[in-house]
Copies of this chain bind each other. A is one copy, B any other.
Amino acid sequence: MRRKPTVDPQTRILDAAENAVAECGFAGASLRRIAQEARVNLATVYYYFRSKRGLVEAVLKRRFGPLREEHLALLREFEAANPGRPLPVEKILEAMLVPPLRLAAQDSARRQAVRRLFGRIVGEPNAETQEMLRHLRMESRTAFLKALQRSLPEAPRADLLWSVEFVSGALAFTLCNPRELEVETRGACNPANTEKVLAEMIRFFSAGFHALGRRPRKG
């Protein structure tokens, strides 16, 4: 029954905790069930992660920590292709969307948990969690805003900030409950089709950004 005895206990615990938090929320996730699913003694969880809060933070950092570097790397890559010139909004959107979409499109065993984890953190108002995520998102958000301002110099900064927020929200919402969307649309929308989602979002949102660029002042 033991599938991969080579995976170290910390990873097994993190995987199990990710499943539990995704399914039951932060408060509903039980350390005992996590330890059981990870085939690990309950005290081992404390040995590695000190407390439940420490475990949850490790879960979030493992998944969402690398996103910042991927965001910045994609921006740099696109800018290197056409040095000195402002990026087209379509490329900026691609840099924003591709890393989370890739994250939510990995192997099917983890996919559902990762997607639901997105939804959990969005709705979690706990101050510590929010502060941690704010810190994780801050740097890439600044980079995206700077790129957008260069690409759409006529657009007011506040409008661009709002729009970035709207894109983030649409992305999070689309990722976190994929099955529901497929059911509700009777299969017309399949969030597992990453390329399709990316194309739809770029098409829809780039029009919004271009409209901002065309209107120099708020009407």
On A, residues with C-beta under 8 Å from B are: 22-28, 116, 118-125, 130, 134, 137-138, 141, 157-159, 161-163, 165-174, 176-177, 180-181, 183-185, 188-189, 197, 199-201, 203-212, 215, 218-219
Residues of B within 8 A of A189 (CB): 158, 161-162, 165
Name which residue of chain B comes closest to A171, CB basis: B169
The answer, among B122, B138, B162, for a CB contact under 8 Å with A123, is: B122
Residues of B within 8 A of A200 (CB): 159, 162-163, 166
Given A165-B181, A188-B158, A211-B204, answer yes or no on A176-B26 (Cβ-Cβ < 8 Å): no
Question: Top 7 A-B pairs ranked by shortest CB distance?
Answer: A169-B173, A27-B28, A119-B123, A207-B211, A166-B170, A123-B123, A204-B208
Tell me whether A176 and B122 are in contact (CB under 8 A). yes
